[in-house]
Structure 1
Amino acid sequence: MKITKIPSRRPETIIRKKVAAYARVSTASDAQLHSLGAQIDFYKKQIMSRPDWEFAGVFIDDGVTGTKSKREGLDELLTACRDGKIDLIITKSISRFARNTVNLLNIVRDLKESKIAVYFEREKINTLNAEGELLLTLLASFAQEESRSASNNMKWSIRKGYAEGSLKQVRRCYGYLVELGEVTIVPEEAKVVKEVFERYELGELPSSIAKDLNRRKIYTFQGAKWSVNRLNVLTANIFYTGNTLLQKLFVPNHLDKKQIKNRGELPQYFIENSHEPIISMELFEAVREVKAKRTYKKRPDTKHAFSGKLICGVCGANLNRKYDRGNHKWQCRTYRKSGVAACPSKQVPENTLEVSAAEALGLPSFDEMNFLEKIDEVIVHNGNKLIFRFKDGSKKDIYWEDRSRSESWTKEMRAAAGRKTKERYGN
């Protein structure tokens, strides 16, 4: 029996990849543009010479740098990728494609999700293979370090400006125009600012003032209507007295960029006579006193002067009052709710807070009214440290000592312990 193999005559189907190239030069000089033209010719010939590749174009940017976010050629390339017109991108090097590792990482990851590879010729890296995975890992690390370094440089520059009394970081506020640290009064708005302070001093309620301003079609510089909260913020801003308190906010984490209130973690800078005032310091203090008295009158008898004033220096939560074996103590809300794992803060006896407050205010004993009028908040840090933040922007650190066990016992506690001892031994 004879068997003859008949070879397949059906031509093999070649699945061709749609390949595009990206080229860029950073200046528009004749020499550079000649180089760009050479790159275009080179890539066109290279792509068209391969039977398994389909020419999808050469996308170019001339006279721009890799650090610039607006590059029309690259944008057109990415649009074509999203439209399914490209399977592979070839480019000379990582630096030609992008010099900002954050942007590069984002682009490469987006393309990878669509199964689109980028091949960097100089580095010989294809982003869809194993080397590409390593590249992404390295780029992620570089991107985070670059972001941290840039953030630290920015923080250093800003804080240096604060220490030198620069107002470049001061934001526009109603009544003033602030441009590159130059502060100028806006006359029409300044009249309203002064009117608001004077009406506060006379005892008019902020709800009434806000209603009147809105009726007169006088709005904030953003065009928003006035509210009680907006007026309270305005009348608490010492900037209107011609003085400036710097570094009231800061960004602790360079990744999420979230600003938080500076509660003593960083130094603040109070600059006197930094710009032309709209109101006098006397009027500002008078309004502060009116607001403090109004707050005191509204406070229920069951609410203590420390309520809402004590801030945990560990997690930033408020401290709550509790009664424990004859003594009142103040304890972090987070600690009380979730335990030491959530916040390893320390509780503070109420009488310790009162003695420390009196010392901070320069008084022989604790005065509740004085405390409410002058103290904005108290930061309770571990290490027995209390930071008293005054409403004028100043602060004072007070350290307290733990009482011995015998000193902390009240008469009631001693009596209760005596009764338990008698019950235990039957006497």
Structure 2
Amino acid sequence: MNAPARFFGEIQPLRYEGPESRNLYAYRWYDKDRMVLGKRMEDHLRFAIAYWHSFTWPGGDPFGGETFLRPWMHGGDEMALARAKADVAFDLFRILDVPFFCFHDRDIAPEGKSLKESNANVRAIADVFTKKMETEKVRLLWGTANLFSNRRFMAGAATNPDPDVFAYAAGQVKHVLELTHELGGQNYVLWGGREGYETLLNTDLKRELDQMGRFLNLVVEHKHRIGFKGTILIEPKPQEPTKHQYDFDVGTVYGLLCRAGLQDEVKVNIEANHATLAGHSFEHEIAMAAALGIFGSIDMNKGDAQSGWDTDQFPTNIEDTALAIYEIIKAGGFTTGGMNFDAKIRRQSLDPEDLLLAHSGAMDLCARALLVAAKMVEDGARQRAVDERYAGWNGPEARAMLSDESSLADIAARVEAEGLDPQPRSGRQERLENLVASYF
């Protein structure tokens, strides 16, 4: 069985037509060459398409099975289907004119009867990618190994109580890291989908944290051994599928990195839906990562306000997206990272065009949000309000308190000598919320 050469029919690559356009197959806001704050829009946003949700997810949910019936998901030879899937993927990359894509090893090729056979399958499809990338614009933003789907990983990968599972995961990561390097990937992601525990009744927390730290160090050591210049990223993930995830949020991951001595080696890939599941806003997690010096990349999506589950929907909220992009700009923008659409269309969205339009609409939303965020930066009112709030810390006595020049006793003595009686000042939250609303 071969997938149609043109799954998306005769749709031509999308072009920018401006905000007044009503052409579904055109960009209204995403003008990739438009200069924003001194940089091309494409270089600000660095869009990527996620191989897993876009080409591998069959449309199932906990109460029902496959709905999409994609032609590359059914037939005889699994490797032939994987090659057909790659054809469709690169066709979508071309139509949307995106600069990047991302993949797990199990997205692109079937798992074999052994690690050796599985790796050979992945290698064969990576060779297909290499050939296609010779004539296509798209490049690899990041690769990763799927260390969560197979039943062997039901108790985790790096944190598994069985050392053979740890070893198997190490072999899988080694192979995908090397392939990511060969494909010119700009990052490698470690997503600990099951690095957590269900109950303390059968868990040795310290042992599992030690194992996780060692695994991370092994990956970083191998990165340097093979000369990979990209960034190693960890993706924070709260709650699901295990009750207690070791990589719950940005702050938790930073603690893990410090414990493993890797805070200067590893950064984070932050997902919007994971941020909200952790009880945070997306912009909070981005700002926290920037403050800790570990901001790397993002997975752009959203959750459902009425559902406490990882629904992975395409972004549609302009304000939330603009506030997140503002924090990215404040952090200096992406370096090796980018904006990966870790999002899936709804299981009732059966048509090929649904997949294409979900991406193009999200790209337009992010482009429009970038323009709003740029207005906030250029106007400077938000930053001035923050600077004013902390202006007192610019004085010599305040600076001395944060240095080795003052002891606790020195500070207390100054309070008594000067008769300090500080009074609270308004945080002006509503005023600032009104300010932000004025940019839309």
* Normalised TM-score (structure 2): 0.18
Which has the larger helix fraction? 2
Q: Over alpha carbons, which structure has the higher Rg?
A: 1
Higher relative contact order (CA 8 A, sep 6+): 2
Which has the larger strand fraction? 1
